[in-house]
Amino acid sequence: MSEPANNNAKHGVTALFLAFLPSAMLLGLTVLRPNIRQNMLMVACVLSVACCFVSSFMLFARRTGLAILAGVLFLILNGFIAFFFGCTASFKM
């Protein structure tokens, strides 16, 4: 009986980790490496888009109101971060 509850908790923690990963990449790349190369920004953009969708869909799968709200908010936030990485990479060309 406790297996599904424990499995849902693991997926929730993984989803939250993936949701905060683009923010950590943004802070890490802009603070620690001010002179970023274009290909690093493109990789960060692709990873942000992947984390954006994967974490949101993992939260949507929990089917609770709070998880769905968090999934939508992280989808918007991480989409904006991915857009920032993509725009910065295109300006570095």
Dihedral sign for Cα 33, 37, 38, 40, please.
negative
pLDDT band, residue 64 (cuts 50/70/90): confident
Q: Which residue has the higher pLDDT, 4 or 32?
A: 32
- The tokens describing 10, both together, are 């693991």
Both tokens of 29, joined, read 């790349």
Compute the average pLDDT of residues 44-66.
Answer: 86
